[in-house]
Amino acid sequence: MRLREAGDSALLLQFDPVIDASVNARVIAIADAVRARQVAGVRDVVSTFSSVAVYFDPLIVSIDAVRDLLRSVTNTAVSAPMSGRVIDVPVSYGGEAGPDIADVAALTGLTETEIARRHADATYRVFMLGFLPGFAYMGSVDERIAVPRRASPRLRVPAGSVGIAGRQTGIYPIESPGGWQIVGRTSLRVFDPERAEPCVFAPGDSVRFVGRVRRKPDTTTENFDAGTPNVRASRSQSAGGARLQNGVSDSGRTSRRTITVISPGLFTTVQDEGRWGHQSSGVSVAGAMDLISHRLANALVGNDRNAATLEITLHGPELRFETDTVVAVAGADLTPTVDGASVRHLSPTPCRQGSVLRFGDRRDSARAYLAVGGGVAVSPVLDSRSTHTMTGIGGFAGRRLRAGDVVPVGESTFATRSGRSIPSGPRPRAVRLRAIPGPQDDFFESVAFDILQHTRFTVSPQSNRMGYRLTGGQPIPRRADREMISDATFAGGLQIPLSGEPILLMADRQTTGGYPQIATVISADLPAAAQLAPGDSVQFELCSRAVAISALVAQEARLLASI
């Protein structure tokens, strides 16, 4: 058992990296015990196959207090048995529902019917949730049908697809890319953010597949009984999703205060401080990439710090205000104007009904934040208004804004104070980010850390809110004698895939991943990372936790003094 730092705002309690029911039972029990303590400042607790990740706000609770908490519950928590819930999953095997079953048959020498029968005969343990919201990693598959992932992942795997990867099986909750061997499909909606319990599965559950084999052509099937479980879970299978009708406010009434999107810009989304508390279900935190600029913009118009803003990337939108309001822009300088008059950066600007806000050339940085008095008043989904476009959760209909959208705005009593503004200067396009080694630093020799600190990387065009792919310089080598199973991921984590080219994880990162994280960028430097654009340069400097906390405290003091 090891306690490893993941930057300055998370701790990872690691057991031996195995897929083992007894180890998994212990990590589930520890995670449950940490949640039960309800410690102020703890944002999220995630159990994986063999680890527990605790995410916290280091300005509220110290890492030493979180370390003591983990040690305490580890000594007292009793390993959790199987939950007692056995969940039946209806599945159709083969045909269009299972396009890879013929390949699995060729690899194993079994018939398609035998593959389906062996898959359905087992009772599977839910070890963890991750990758996607509600995606349950289940095991163990009969070794006769345990086949490797596809050599070439599909770009689109339909929702409900049942796949096999080695000794694991799982169900894709939404349409997404994926490399598992798809042997069937279920009609069960395993994740729905509008249900009282969004996820059908939880770690420690038992799952059985009750299925039938499709023949070719698809008009005939061979039915068989996979057995009756001892307990059957009763869960809603609502067909609803996390979709928001245009102009619907928090109260469900049509908002009288709105913004009309004339042109959406390159990538404009609704964001707040993030969707904390749901990573254990595989739900990404999302939220504003540059939280400092987000908070500054909100403060300038009198909003709460967590009010939703519009995050604007590289090329801004054209927006018409349908009521009198006040706005402020922070972050990137994208030369905003209102009815042709320049908008002062980091200063509240009154806008009359019918006024049009436009953005022009990019002068510096990548992301601007537009705050509107009263905040963007889309309905919260899982306690947040943030948009996660990959999974279609939150924000405005779970997507970037489009022309014609009518965005609701909350009520505001803010009165603009003459002359109120915050000074700012241009940001460099080459930055140095400080990082703390780990949490998987034991996967690397010292030469890897030397390369990390002495290479000037370039942000590649294959970068987005999930993460930046960094190119340039010598590949970072991994130890050949270490293999990793899926584990928790962290904002600012520097993943090293087999190519040796780092991936800097950002706000929309998946909650778990299979690449080791050599280091984690400190919280105080994440806003600077958020403002990087493709083609910008970045270097890394390893530092201590003491340096990280000192930088964060100083940053917070400057922010509070300015607002």
Task: Kindly tell me the number of DSSP H helices and DSSP E strands found in the chain.
Answer: 8, 34
Report d(CA 447, CA 479) in Å as an integer. 11
Predicted confidence at residue 353, as pLDDT, reads: 96
For 345-355, the pLDDT digits (tens) are 999 999 999 99
- The beta-strand segments (E) located in 300-389 are 309-313, 318-321, 325-333, 337-338, 341-342, 349-351, 356-358, 364-372
What are the distances in angstroms from CA 53 to CA 44, 234, 238, 505? 8, 29, 31, 16
Q: The dihedral of CA 64, 70, 73, 74: what is its sign?
A: negative
Q: In the block, which residue shows the tokens 């810009």?
A: 265
Instruction: Let me know: does 259 contact 301? Beta carbons within 8 Å.
Output: no
Report d(CA 393, CA 372) in Å as an integer. 22
Full DSSP string of 34-88: HHHH--TTEEEEEE-SSEEEEEE-TTTS-HHHHHHHHHHHHHHPPPP---S-EEE
For 183, the token pair is 């042997």
Q: Collect all residues with Cβ–Cβ distance below 8 Å to 16 and sequence separation of at least 6.
A: 23, 50
Predicted confidence at residue 246, as pLDDT, reads: 36
Report d(CA 118, CA 407) in Å as an integer. 51
Full DSSP string of 426-478: PPPSEEEEEEEE-SSGGGS-HHHHHHHHH--EEE-SS--SSEEEEE-SSPPP-
Predicted confidence at residue 429, as pLDDT, reads: 61
Q: The dihedral of CA 337, 339, 341, 345: what is its sign?
A: negative
The reply to whether omega before 217 is within 30° of 0 (cis) is yes
Report d(CA 8, CA 435) in Å as an integer. 9
For 287, the token pair is 């939220």
Predicted confidence at residue 79, as pLDDT, reads: 61
Predicted confidence at residue 540, as pLDDT, reads: 98
For 446, the token pair is 């010292």
Predicted confidence at residue 151, as pLDDT, reads: 86
For 336, the token pair is 């905003």
Amino acid 121 reads D
Instruction: Let me know: does 374 contact 410? Beta carbons within 8 Å.
Output: yes
Structural domains of the chain, with CATH: 2-76 (3.30.1360.40), 86-223 (2.40.100.10), 258-408 (no CATH), 430-562 (2.40.100.10)
CA dihedral of 129, 133, 134, 138, whole degrees rounded to 10: -40
Instruction: Let me know: does 472 contact 497? Beta carbons within 8 Å.
Output: no
Strand, helix or coil for residue 88: strand
Full DSSP string of 294-323: HHHHHHHTT--TTS-EEEEESS--EEEESS
Q: Calculate helix-pair angle for 112-121, 101-108, nearest 10 degrees.
A: 90
Strand, helix or coil for residue 155: strand
pLDDT tens, N- to C-terminus, the chain (563 residues): 899 999 999 999 999 888 899 999 999 999 999 999 999 999 999 999 999 999 999 999 999 999 999 999 998 876 655 556 899 999 999 999 999 999 999 999 999 999 999 999 999 999 999 989 999 999 999 999 999 999 888 999 999 999 999 999 999 999 999 999 999 999 999 999 989 999 999 999 999 999 877 655 443 444 444 333 333 443 333 333 333 333 345 544 455 899 999 999 999 999 999 999 999 999 999 999 999 999 999 999 999 999 999 999 999 999 999 999 999 999 999 999 999 999 999 999 999 999 999 999 999 999 999 999 999 999 999 999 999 999 999 999 999 999 999 999 999 877 665 456 666 655 666 799 999 999 999 999 999 999 999 999 999 999 999 999 999 989 999 998 888 899 999 999 999 998 999 999 999 999 999 899 999 999 999 999 999 999 999 999 999 999 999 999 999 999 999 88
Q: In the block, which residue shows the tokens 């009904």?
A: 353
For 36-93, the pLDDT digits (tens) are 999 999 999 999 999 999 999 999 999 999 999 999 999 887 665 555 689 999 999 9
What are the distances in angstroms from CA 17 to CA 23, 27, 46, 138, 525? 9, 12, 16, 16, 30
Instruction: Let me know: does 493 contact 6? Beta carbons within 8 Å.
Output: yes
For 82, the token pair is 């199987």
Phi-psi region of 365 (alpha: psi -120 to 50; beta: other; left: phi over 0): left
What are the distances in angstroms from CA 36 to CA 30, 205, 357, 373? 10, 19, 47, 37
Instruction: Let me know: does 502 contact 496? Beta carbons within 8 Å.
Output: yes
Report d(CA 505, CA 295) in Å as an integer. 21
Say how many residues make up the chain: 563
Report d(CA 69, CA 60) in Å as an integer. 15
What are the distances in angstroms from CA 285 to CA 43, 55, 194, 383? 10, 11, 17, 11
Strand, helix or coil for residue 557: helix
For 107, the token pair is 């690899």
